[in-house]
Structure 1
Amino acid sequence: MSKSGNYFYKYFTINQNLFNSLINNELHFSNPKNFNDPFDSLPRFKLCTDINKLENFYLFIQANINQKIDILKSLKEFEKKKLDFEHLLEVYLKVLEKFDESYYNEIGDFEHRLIEIFTFYNNIEYFQTAYKLNNTELQTKMYFDYTFLYVDIHKYGITCGSQTETCPVMWGHYGNNHAGICLKFEFYNSKNEQDICFSKDEKLEIVEVEYTNSPLDIFSYNKDELENLIFKILQTKCEKWAYEKEIRLINYSQGFLKINNKSIKQIIFGCKTTPKDRYSLCKLLACLGYRDYEMKIARIQPDSYELTIETMRLEHLAGSGVLIEELNVKKPF
């Protein structure tokens, strides 16, 4: 897994979600399947014409799901649902003589998905028939089943940031059309210890996103490679997104995680933020006891299409009704 540097920039709209994040010292770690890129955490795979490789992949998933047999048998209505899926497979593979996403994409229930996978991968005739009917759809199903068992089932959560604070497109997409802010987080302290989490027991996987248009040759991977492919899947995106220079923090659960607010080293205001918004946010941070951060502002340049980041000055708060004493920070300007 690729490692990042010691910081990342995260863009926000100035709204209640940002206030909650600052007040509660937390970041939200989302299910990557809910991101705006439909290929996120589902990098494309290379179609395979070698039935032996496909059968080996089938047997690999079979071994994985069979390791969970005690969990499966404890599920409500396991035997009944297994019979239901056997009947459904008979209908698709032998009566309708087709095999496509209308079958496997409609199983939304987590427990039912496990039972369906168990059913499909414990009868080699299903594989053989599906291969003859629609080899492409068979490969798609097996890939989806693999990601379900190795990624989805673990419910990894991701929060995204960037290595850059000056990309106008990033400000436009994630910083509320330049009217939001950007926070600079540092990951490690002076002892090179990961220090971004509030709890010392919490550790995050911190990775740089890899951008590529090359599909994974997943059906050629050996057992060890398949067992250790999780983070490559979570950190791979199409090259079209390369401008984001994305850094990902990966948590072993989804939802909110308490962070160490001392890891916030800069507050960067968008070039379209209002003096009132700047002052209100500075005052909120002061009231919350935030220290040791720099206040910056993004500025449009007259001779280029890039932004520069400047130290914020008193003039950037003009007209906000500012009282410097209320900001409770050392030499902010």
Structure 2
Amino acid sequence: MKLEYFYKYYTINQNLFSSLINNELYFTNPRNFNDPFDSYPRFNLSSDVSKVIEFYNYLKIKVQEFSSLINLNNENKEKLEEFKNVLKTLSELNLFSEDLYSNEIENFNDKIIELYAFYSDDKILQKLLNANIEFLQVKMYYDYIFLLIDYQKTGISCGSLTPSCPLMWGHYANNHKGMCIKYEFENLSFDNSFIPEILNVNYSDKPIEIFNYSHTELDELRFTILSNKYSKWKYENEIRLIKKGQGLVKINRKSIKEVIFGCKSTPKDRYTILKLFASLGYKIESLKIAKVRPDKYELSIQEMKMNDIANSGVHLEELNINKNFR
């Protein structure tokens, strides 16, 4: 089924004002998400040594592609020797462990040099196969994710297919004091000549069999990993826009035609947002507000009425609204 729209929940603050004024959408680093498993799907360890070695060989080939970068200057060469010495010491003393040797190297250049040192020494591979094959598999998996996703500086903009989830309003819209914007794909039209991948999130508790994939399949696993999420988040009904590169991206203002305010938003905030939309030339066709249902633990999305922006110093002619309030 072709997706026609998505919703994003917002806190009403300076970041929102800036996004509306500059008609932008933010693509974030997936490492900044609040879920530590996000884009790190769980995987099954393998008891098949040949498959573990094959995965190592796959990564070794990938890392060799950076040989020219490593040999580019003396500073990189010196760092390479430092990493080799550390790896040699840890191997000789059987000290490889996640506590003593972390994969979290924030500097991408240093991380590439570390990978080059590790995958250039098959003696370390043989030592870990015999002494700590579990650590080896965990390290290789995180190295794979780094090369596939992190080094590419993948950016993600998250959305939802539902505007009425109380948990989403609570988590992402300032405890229901914020708002929700509906974006239409037909008019989204990013202005810098790229088309993001649009993926439905797959909610699953099933670990992936990372060591059963061929080299070709490993090359193509990126979107499967980026769209995988722990099943407890299923209520978000999330979709993702994915691109290479992170940060703010210009969009077409015509993509925004509907806004929904939280049930705890204030009349003044509602009026401020509507006046901002009008002054910037947005054509909002549908104004709605979330209301708490009296009979269920649910929200009801209703058409806004005049009373919803009363006592805000409102002047309707300033709002450029296509329909009359009741």
TM above 0.5, one fold? Answer: yes
Q: Find the aligned partners of 2:286 and 2:243 in 1 and give their Cα distance.
A: 27
After superposition, the Cα gap between the structure-2 partners of 1:212 and 1:269, relative to the gap in structure 1 and judged at 3 Å, is same
| 1:315 pairs with 2:313 | no
| Deviation string, structure 1 residues 78-123 (Cα, Å, up to 9, x no partner) | 222221111101111112x121122133533211110111111122
Q: Once the 2 structures are TM-superposed, how far is the Cα of residue 155 of structure 1 from its aligned partner? A: 0.3
Q: Find the aligned partners of 1:160 and 1:206 in 2 and give their Cα distance.
A: 10
Aligned-residue sequence identity (percent) comes to 49
Give the secondary-structure state (helix, strand or coil) at the position aligned to 1:201.
coil
Give the corresponding residue for 1:272.
264
Give the corresponding residue for 2:150.
152
| 1:202 pairs with 2:194 | yes
User: What amino acid is the match of 1:214?
Assistant: K
Give the corresponding residue for 2:48.
50
Q: Find the aligned partners of 1:237 and 1:111 in 2 and give their Cα distance.
A: 29
Give the secondary-structure state (helix, strand or coil) at the position aligned to 1:77.
helix
TM-score, with length taken from structure 2: 0.96
| Deviation string, structure 1 residues 21-74 (Cα, Å, up to 9, x no partner) | 100101111100111001111111111111100000000001111122222322
Give the secondary-structure state (helix, strand or coil) at the position aligned to 1:127.
helix
Give the corresponding residue for 1:138.
136
Question: Over aligned residues, Cα RMSD in angstroms?
Answer: 1.4
Q: Find the aligned partners of 2:104 and 2:173 in 1 and give their Cα distance.
A: 36
Q: Find the aligned partners of 1:92 and 1:132 in 2 and give their Cα distance.
A: 14
After superposition, the Cα gap between the structure-2 partners of 1:265 and 1:75, relative to the gap in structure 1 and judged at 3 Å, is farther
Give the secondary-structure state (helix, strand or coil) at the position aligned to 1:122.
coil
User: What amino acid is the match of 1:156?
Assistant: T
| Count of aligned residue pairs for this structure pair | 324
Correspondence list, 1:284-299, <5 A: 284-299=276-291
Give the corresponding residue for 1:192.
none
- The one of 285, 289, 300 equivalent to 2:292 is 300
TM-score, with length taken from structure 1: 0.94
Q: For the Cα contact (< 8 Å) 2:198–2:239, is it kept in 1?
A: yes
Q: For the Cα contact (< 8 Å) 1:75–1:111, is it kept in 2?
A: no
Q: Once the 2 structures are TM-superposed, how far is the Cα of residue 136 of structure 1 from its aligned partner? A: 1.3
Give the secondary-structure state (helix, strand or coil) at the position aligned to 2:15.
helix
After superposition, the Cα gap between the structure-2 partners of 1:75 and 1:266, relative to the gap in structure 1 and judged at 3 Å, is farther
| 1:98 pairs with 2:95 | yes
User: What amino acid is the match of 2:209?
Assistant: D
User: What amino acid is the match of 1:307?
Assistant: L
Correspondence list, 1:14-29, <5 A: 14-29=12-27
Q: For the Cα contact (< 8 Å) 1:4–1:207, is it kept in 2?
A: no
- The one of 113, 117, 120 equivalent to 1:119 is 117
Q: For the Cα contact (< 8 Å) 2:176–2:263, is it kept in 1?
A: yes
Q: For the Cα contact (< 8 Å) 1:198–1:259, is it kept in 2?
A: yes
Q: Find the aligned partners of 1:100 and 1:203 in 2 and give their Cα distance.
A: 41
Q: For the Cα contact (< 8 Å) 2:103–2:143, is it kept in 1?
A: no
Correspondence list, 1:213-292, <5 A: 213-292=205-284
User: What amino acid is the match of 1:69?
Assistant: S
Give the secondary-structure state (helix, strand or coil) at the position aligned to 2:151.
helix
Moved more, 291-300 or 12-21: 291-300
Moved more, 292-301 or 155-164: 292-301
User: What amino acid is the match of 2:95?
Assistant: K
After superposition, the Cα gap between the structure-2 partners of 1:10 and 1:75, relative to the gap in structure 1 and judged at 3 Å, is farther
Q: Once the 2 structures are TM-superposed, how far is the Cα of residue 261 of structure 1 from its aligned partner? A: 1.2
Give the secondary-structure state (helix, strand or coil) at the position aligned to 1:250.
strand
Q: For the Cα contact (< 8 Å) 2:259–2:284, is it kept in 1?
A: no
For structure 1, which runs of at least 5 residues remain unmatched after alignment?
189-194
